Amino acid sequence: MEFDLIERIRQRTASHRDDVRLGIGDDAAVVAVPSGRELAIAVDTLVEGIHFPVGTAPADIGWKALAVNLSDLAAMGATPAWALLALTLPTQDEAFIDGLAQGFAELATPFRLALIGGDTTRGPLTVTVAVHGFTAPEEALLRSTARVGDVVMVTGTLGDAAAGLRCLAEADPSPYGELIGRLNRPTPRVSAGQALRGIATACIDVSDGLVADLGHICAQSGVGAEIDAALLPRSSAMLTHFHDADAIDFALGGGDDYELCFTVSAERAGDLAADLARLGCGATRIGRVVEGQGVRVIGLDGEALVPSRAGWNHFTA
């Protein structure tokens, strides 16, 4: 059974890269790392019912499994090259595999990312992708290097995926397609991450929620941050369907946005925002890096705002 499934995946994700000496089919893949480059490597697992709702279309699962990994490379400023795909499937469902491989390939192709191997096992539906990308020595964007006085910025808009998840529960989710699309098919900000290299002082992708993820930058950099709720970028779909309080709640604590949150000196913030606007996602200044620790949010009324949810944690949720 396995061989047939693997062959279906291989055919649907075919890509050509000269640096892949040996792809799917042998005991291990063999690739050539360009001289003078370093590898950034990340792995992320999606479990049905935890990371995507039961009933999510197979193509959306394939897309998202790759997207969350590309987002990690984006947050490092790395250039994607190769991926591995480990699948655990409850049944040998060919239509499901075809859909998953197609969604994966749709996102992989524009990045010239090659699927070079994986593993296939039986069990509860779980999709693990590992990605490899290139960085130049000293160029990777880190969490640990934010400086007091920097401004805090985010790409795109925040909270849409969490809003989309809420909308899935509606009797008729059809008016909320844009928000649900942000949940099922997040856009990894790969070119934005590359544009940040050598300019941003620290960077992380927003997977667990803005406050939680910016909190990681703060903890690892030994700084605090102040965020103005009024500045949080909200999509037109969010503005159409949700009141301020909900939108801010989604933006601060909802996960799954896969935007980049980064810090940059005030002098360079304007030019960088213009560069990112040219790349299509834009970037918004939402706050500043301060002395101290933790993330403080200033609400619309100018008072400190305690987010109603602290971000996603598998072991306390």
Question: Which does residue 115 touch among Mg ion, ligand ADP, none (CB within 5 to 8 A, set by kind)?
Answer: ligand ADP
Residue 25 backbone zone (phi > 0: left; psi -120 to 50: alpha; other: beta): left
Here's the x/- map for Mg ion, 111-150, by CB under 5 A: it reads as --------x-------------------------------
CB of 31 to Mg ion, least distance (A): 18
Crossing angle of helices 94-108 and 58-76, rounded to 10°: 30
Applying CB under 6 A, the site for ligand ADP has a residue count of 14
CB of 95 to ligand ADP, least distance (A): 16
Cβ atoms within 10 Å, residue 2: 11
User: Does residue 120 touch ligand ADP according to CB under 6 A?
Assistant: yes
User: Does residue 2 touch ligand ADP according to CB under 6 A?
Assistant: yes
CB of 86 to ligand ADP, least distance (A): 6
Are the CB atoms for 173 and 214 separated by under 8 Å? no
DSSP structure class, residue 281: S
User: Does residue 85 touch ligand ADP according to CB under 6 A?
Assistant: yes
User: Does residue 25 touch ligand ADP according to CB under 6 A?
Assistant: yes
Q: Which of residues 27-46 bind ligand ADP (CB under 6 A)?
A: 27
Are the CB atoms for 242 and 163 separated by under 8 Å? yes
CB of 74 to ligand ADP, least distance (A): 23
CB of 116 to ligand ADP, least distance (A): 7
Are the CB atoms for 197 and 79 separated by under 8 Å? no
Start-end of H helices in the chain: 2-12, 58-76, 94-108, 160-168, 177-184, 190-196, 210-221, 236-241, 244-253, 266-278
Q: Which amino acid is at 279?
A: L
Among 21, 33, 94, 119, binds ligand ADP (CB under 6 A): 119
Q: Is 296 exposed, middle or buried (0-12, 13-18, 19+ CB in 10 A)?
A: middle
User: Would you list the DSSP string of 230-262?
Assistant: GG----HHHHHH--HHHHHHHHHH------EEE
Among 20, 24, 46, 261, binds ligand ADP (CB under 6 A): 24
Q: Which is nearer to ligand ADP, 74 or 83 (CB)?
A: 83
Site residues (CB under 6 A) for ligand ADP? 2, 6, 9, 24-27, 85, 87, 115, 117-120
Site residues (CB under 5 A) for Mg ion? 119
